Structure 1
């Protein structure tokens, strides 16, 4: 399957119409701040001055990582499958926030080291029972990586909505994300490595040492797909495919935290125009995420000190997406409300 192709949203005529529509609402120009930029972006994504939100959904991709053998997480690998069970039991934060905000939730087994069997609410797209330990060998084969991308893209093809949030679950995946960040942005590893699920200072130092050895071992990996194959996870690769397919369908992409943004770094290397379709939900408290966002020129909607993952930031930011679209469509204009506009 070829990599999905993403068209830029640039449209000067439509941009002018959207700016006029936004500025003609009964408010001082710019007074709704980021909501105005968000409404403009969504209008360009949907190619209309009357955008709408249809069937928003969050997809949580779960996968295990061989790098956990290097003791880079304070939690055992079994927590990945246990949290998938929690998602299916409607007990996780993302379940609460998605339900609260009228957002569908889909849970995907991209590569968990567990046999779930056939389960209601679980989409089985398993590539393998966790990746290999990239401190010793590439995490995936090229074929496995491309299959994960393909399966992620195919999942998006099943959705009827036009807004998609991305979430993940996978013990060890902040280590994979830190490696991807380093290779995709050129930032020093020391600026990419954080506490993840709660490492001590000594644990973070050990994690950095593991990554330094792994990066040196795979120094040859430089192209986006090679980097993803070498350091990524099945859930991260599947997100890359899903992101590219969603942008190809002109959907609004809601980007969560550190791990999801690492997938976007890869996707943006493959198709730079994908950034036109992204809404950055929040700035994570995981070290490195702020630098990721700066590298992408992103302006996150929320800053709540989150570092949970699961797509939780997407669900929490969704009301702001609704608000941006609603004010553009429903707020009175100066003419309709018979309110005097700005004189000069």
Structure 2
């Protein structure tokens, strides 16, 4: 049953936002000779070809990112790894398209800032700096407790949540550009050469689903999947409302226009963060479906960014599985993780450390010592 609001949304289609902006230059990393050299480094005469499976593919990707001009590749170096969680609220949450109340966004942010979230513990375990970026939380956010496990707060609020995409574009063109630029600026102020990118925000999955549908042509019902936390009536209502939003913004087909019309401030900032990190040849650990949607937008804007993206896990969300298929990406883990906030990215980190150890086992180098507790 279509409501009056949905009929109004679909009948009055605004022109596309038509957003353009300057992008940083991103170098491709492809190097067939380096791939061949690494394959030889990892092969053993007593093992079958490609004995390490996709570990070899990961090794090649990381080495290609870190090779530098004529000096080539020596060994993997992970310097001052950073985890960044972008937080924002979505106006479309007013339509009941999420399984949590909007207040859950602020509760998650507070847990991160006070050192009480899973992410805090994993960041400490793996030696990551942890930052929460207020991209557009619907309320004011203050810094957390001053303790070694607390996340640092960066204030980059574009607005107090996006507008309801069912009634208007989620962001104006200027807001979308500001959010992407803010994401770039966040990365410029962070040290290191590894960046784990995650997010939190109620209705973020709804935004990711409509972006996947628009940019990849995936039927919305498939992009949404079945949410076990919503009953059949609520799932039907969610599908109808988000389909009305897609219909309203049917002319927003470019990555940036779709981002402005259907995205969120945190998705826009993650897009900018990925573009900037790739331009600085950082390794980018992509966490979950919402961060994956930002990766989809970033790749649409600058295809070379794809070379720097390590998709760390496949979440429980059906849309995330389809997104990975369309990006031709093989995630490192498949654990049905439902938590956001870079939990999956940090959980996958030991795999990259294993690759670092394997690539150190070459003439003239030694395997790093393992410090026991």
TM tier, shorter chain?
over 0.9
Distance 1:197 1:75, change over 3 A: farther
Aligned to 2:118: 93
Distance 1:94 1:179, change over 3 A: same
Distance 1:264 1:131, change over 3 A: same
Q: Does 1:15 align with 2:35?
A: yes
Offset at residue 4 of structure 1 (A): 1.7
Aligned length: 335
Of 199, 212, 236, the residue aligned with 1:181 is 212
Do the aligned partners of 1:26 and 1:331 also contact (CA within 8 Å) in 2?
A: no
Q: Does 1:122 align with 2:142?
A: no
Q: Give 3-state SS (helix, strand or coil) of 1:153's partner.
A: helix
Offset at residue 13 of structure 1 (A): 2.9
Supply the distance in 2 between the matched residues of 1:274 and 1:26 (Cα, whole angstroms).
Answer: 37
Of 166, 169, 191, the residue aligned with 2:200 is 169
Of 262, 281, 302, the residue aligned with 1:231 is 262
Do the aligned partners of 1:279 and 1:300 also contact (CA within 8 Å) in 2?
A: yes
Do the aligned partners of 1:75 and 1:197 also contact (CA within 8 Å) in 2?
A: no
Q: Does 1:50 align with 2:75?
A: yes
Of 45, 59, 62, the residue aligned with 1:39 is 59
Do the aligned partners of 2:113 and 2:143 also contact (CA within 8 Å) in 1?
A: no
Supply the distance in 1 between the matched residues of 2:43 and 2:166 (Cα, whole angstroms).
Answer: 54
Q: Does 1:271 align with 2:291?
A: no
Do the aligned partners of 2:29 and 2:307 also contact (CA within 8 Å) in 1?
A: yes
Residue range with higher mean Cα deviation, 8-17 or 321-330: 8-17
Offset at residue 206 of structure 1 (A): 1.6
Supply the distance in 1 between the matched residues of 2:247 and 2:291 (Cα, whole angstroms).
Answer: 24
Alignment of 1:69-80 (within 5 A): 69-80=94-105
Distance 1:204 1:25, change over 3 A: farther
Residue range with higher mean Cα deviation, 32-41 or 255-264: 32-41
Supply the distance in 2 between the matched residues of 1:196 and 1:252 (Cα, whole angstroms).
Answer: 32
Supply the distance in 2 between the matched residues of 1:161 and 1:172 (Cα, whole angstroms).
Answer: 31
Offset at residue 201 of structure 1 (A): 3.3
Distance 1:110 1:208, change over 3 A: same
Offset at residue 74 of structure 1 (A): 2.4
TM-score, with normalisation over the residues of structure 1?
Answer: 0.92
Q: Does 1:6 align with 2:26?
A: yes
Distance 1:309 1:116, change over 3 A: same
Supply the distance in 2 between the matched residues of 1:22 and 1:200 (Cα, whole angstroms).
Answer: 50
Supply the distance in 1 between the matched residues of 2:335 and 2:363 (Cα, whole angstroms).
Answer: 32
